[in-house]
Chains A and B, each alone.
Chain A
Amino acid sequence: MRIARWALARIGSALLVVWVVTTIVFFALRASGDPLEAILGGPGSQAGEEAVAVARETYGLDQPLLWQYLLLLGRVGTLQLGDSYARRQPVIDLIAAQLPSTLLLATLALALAWALALCGAIIARTSRGPAGRAVTASLRGAEIVATVMPQFWLGAVLILVFASTLGVLPATSSGADPAGLVLPVVTLAIPIAGFLAQIMRDSLAEADAAPFAVTARARGASDTRLLLHHTLRHASLPALALSGWAYGSLLSGAVVVETLFARPGLGRLLIDGAMQRDVPLVIGAVVVVALVYVVVLVIGDALELLVDPRLRRRTRTIVRQADVAVGA
């Protein structure tokens, strides 16, 4: 019953997301220019009257805008993404060719962000004394700097240092080449790492002060044991809950990073499509990104269930306020 309601809610939100993005993209693209030129060979097209008339009819551009919008919703609803105006290939093929590259980039970036955030939180937690306070303070500073760092700037600096000056890493990245992946992944991961680290450090400190931690210490558990078996698990829950959102943000960051590092992927496809007013391509790419986002949220929910046994045990209410009871 709960599973069914949960699934319904997820599917409902997925449909809502897809509908909203489709609507926004359709009207934004149509408001700012005519897709006809994408069909007829790009801006400045010299296509004749006849070709224009044929294209208008073939692509339904002679219909009222609202009707075109409804037709589009119908197609998206049945997952018929159609053919790209500019490339004349099925949108689904174009996306399928680029999606793995973007997923690889975003997944590696999320993994790196988590690793960095965990390291930061653990270092902050285990640093004691005046020196430790200094370490914690500088970590806090680094987190804030990382969070607000624009990716296009960070990426350019990394390229300048590691490719132009030191020459140890390539400035561009094509596909799954490990050396080429380093700079894009780091560029994409750092802002998210700063964000996750802040949350994890706070919740680790909170878990550390919770009655169950005090009890565990009183029972003689070592710091390491306490960290690994008790507090870290608690501390990772809020970060886990936000990882779905973080992944979405990584997918949008991929637009910048892929362009900067000349990496193939959905982000670059999206940019090219938008520049060319290629309505089916842009809408297809955005719908697929929205679907990926929803899938990631579902995976995030599942991981939360795995890490937090209380969610599995309680059948009626999902409340995570029971720390006192656990400790006492």
Chain B
Amino acid sequence: MHRALFTPRGRILSVLAVGTAAALALAACAAPDAPAAQDGGTLVYASGDAEPTCLDPHVGGNYPQALISTQYLEPLVGRDADGEITPWLATDWTVSDDGLTWDFTLRDDVTFTDGTPLDADAVKVNIEHLQNPDTGSSTGYLAVAKVAEVEAVDATHARFHLSAPDSALLESLSQQWTAIESPAGIARGTDENCAAPIGTGPFLVDEWVPQQQVTLVRNDDYNTPDAGTENDGPAHLNTIEWRFIPDAATRWAALQSGEVNVIDNPQPDAIVAAEQSDDIAHIDAPRPGSSNRIELNSGQAPFDDVRVREAFIRAADPEPGIESLYLGTVTRSTSPLASTEPVAISDDALFETDAAAAAALLDEAGWTEDASGVRSKDGKPLTVRFPVSTNQSVAAEQSLFEQIQANAAAVGFDVVLTPMDLSSWYGALGANEYEAVSAPYTKVGPDVLRILYHSDGIVPAPSGYFANHAQLSDPALDALLDAASATSDADERADLYAQAQEIILASYTVLPLYDQQNHFLTRGVTGVRTLGTVATPTFVDARLDG
């Protein structure tokens, strides 16, 4: 239908159609129950993220997979906007006093879209799938790392035996990367399961034409809405066409011209234009987990000296850049955690700009200035290698880094920004060839702090990847993070994470910038909302405008 809009006659028709619909809508006001928007139809979603090579988020586990799999796979538990865990495929759960045994009660009336029933065995197969090295899971694998075994007590009761207490288990299981798939689907093998994973979601994968689109059709037997959904039956839409439009300007043009109904990753100027527009709606849904921040590598010179780290942070002055480059669409953060995490704490005082103090700190640390403007110590220049992932840092962020580069140069830092593709960027980090880096990490809940700042996170995985880019190695911090992970008391947990954040912020290894930006623009559709878990959009309640 959207295609007819491009011919002049199509435009007239669409005007007529809108007029007729408006008349019908007016008439509908008299009849109280009639919906203003229509049922059925095809919604077109345009993603700016890379097209996944596998539609099963168990394999690898990145954000593009989370986005699309939200439409066909569902996790055991959900999470509301306040950070409270809510029932989903599991209705109830209890944990033993030692925190090592979790009992989940499953819904007894759910079948996967291939007809396989959802039962405890299915849950067991899914966890084993995540933990099987052949699956190649990275995100989901980490999330269930402490699960030693799943025992199917009976059809609706799954018992998780843990190797160590894990206060983040529910948050981990709420993520799309640990969503539950049909065991029969998994049994088909990686290739087939990657092409069309089978879940319990409101849509199912009908066809995937690589480089073009994934066609998702309505699951007519859908009966598992999450706590935030209004609709208690199948989705209103018939079909979702999931397309990949890499260029941001093209994506925005496609939304304006009516080719697509929803776009993600809009540029700041498009967000501002959408805010001013009557027919385009804006959803601001920051990703959970870490904030976007610059981390300083404390594992080697010059940032092994806290004075040099503080000097960099005092000199960086990111705030004016954030304000101007993002056109006022983002807010400065001074927390290591996303603002959506209830336990996040901020400390503005630590990040106050003071170039004079920065210069004094560098003098004190023995870095002296010469005619070149770059400070040096023992003949070594004060160089900060800063590899920038062009996949993860949008244009505005790259410009922000350039402003920070200039601000830091004023006190004698030589910041070398190197734009890189994702593989080279991971390579540079793995080889320790960086002093500063921006590496956002998405995970539900404050446990992301353990992944990012526990000294265990300095040990690289066999692929070379490690998550603790600040290379913080502080036994007191490790102890707090371990204790927070082990406690089953919510208040104690929040307090431990608050203390941990204070240590992290005071270490001057982290310069928080803002939340991980995650915006959606919609046009000609209502009822789109994002999940409280990884902030992906769901279309169960979505209706196209009549």
Contact = CB atoms under 8 A, between A and B. Distances in A.
A21 B260 CA distance: 39
A47 B462 contact: yes
B3 interface: yes
Interface in A254-295: 259-262, 264-265, 268-269, 272, 275-277
Nearest to B58: A41
B259 A170 contact: yes
Contacts of A272: 50-51, 211
Interface stretch (A157-165, A199-207, A213-221, A228-236): A157-165
Contact of A37 (B11, B137, B423): B423
Contacts of B37: none
Interface in A16-75: 32-34, 36-38, 40-52
Nearest to B253: A171
Interface string B219-249: 0000000000000000000000001111101
Contact of A163 (B136, B138, B256): B256
A37 B246 contact: no
B422 interface: yes
Interface stretch (A83-91, A142-150, A297-305): A83-91
Interface in A88-136: 88-89, 94, 97-98
B376 interface: no
Given A97-B210, A164-B253, A172-B259, A46 B463 contact: yes
A264 B212 contact: yes
Interface in B121-165: 133-134, 136-139, 141-142
Given A41-B138, A164-B257, A262-B247, A276 B212 contact: no
Interface in B468-508: none
Given A170-B254, A171-B254, A275-B423, A48 B249 contact: no
A159 B253 contact: yes
B211 A264 contact: yes
A170 B257 contact: yes
A171 B50 CA distance: 19
Given A42-B62, A89-B191, A262-B250, A268 B136 contact: no
B465 interface: yes
B196 to A, nearest CB: 14
A268 B253 contact: no
A167 interface: yes
A46 B461 contact: yes
Nearest to A48: B133
A326 interface: no
A46 B243 CA distance: 28
B520 interface: no
Contacts of B243: 172, 174, 262
A32 B423 contact: yes
A163 B257 contact: yes
Interface string B6-38: 111001000000000000000000000000000
A276 to B, nearest CB: 7
Given A46-B465, A86-B53, A41 B59 contact: yes
Nearest to B194: A88
A156 interface: yes
A1 interface: no
Interface residues of B, number: 60
Nearest to A161: B253
Nearest to A172: B254
Contact of B5 (A41, A48, A89, A167): A167
Contacts of A169: 6
Contacts, number: 162
A318 interface: no
Interface size class of A (residues with CB under 8 A): 35 or more
A268 B427 CA distance: 24
Contacts of A156: 247, 249-250
Interface string B190-204: 110010000000000
B461 A88 contact: no
B53 A160 contact: no
B111 interface: no
A163 B253 CA distance: 6
A172 B245 contact: yes
A179 interface: yes
A43 B257 contact: no
A37 B426 contact: yes
B279 interface: no
A82 interface: no
Nearest to B243: A262
Contacts of A94: 210
Contacts of A36: 463
24 contacts: A42-B53, A44-B463, A45-B138, A47-B463, A51-B133, A159-B250, A163-B259, A164-B253, A164-B256, A170-B3, A171-B250, A171-B253, A171-B257, A171-B259, A172-B245, A172-B260, A174-B212, A175-B212, A261-B250, A262-B46, A264-B210, A275-B422, A276-B53, A276-B423
Q: Which 10 A-B pairs have the closest CB atoms?
A: A41-B60, A46-B138, A41-B136, A171-B253, A262-B245, A264-B211, A51-B133, A33-B423, A45-B463, A164-B253
Given A41-B136, A168-B6, A275-B423, 4 more contacts: A45-B136, A46-B141, A169-B6, A171-B254
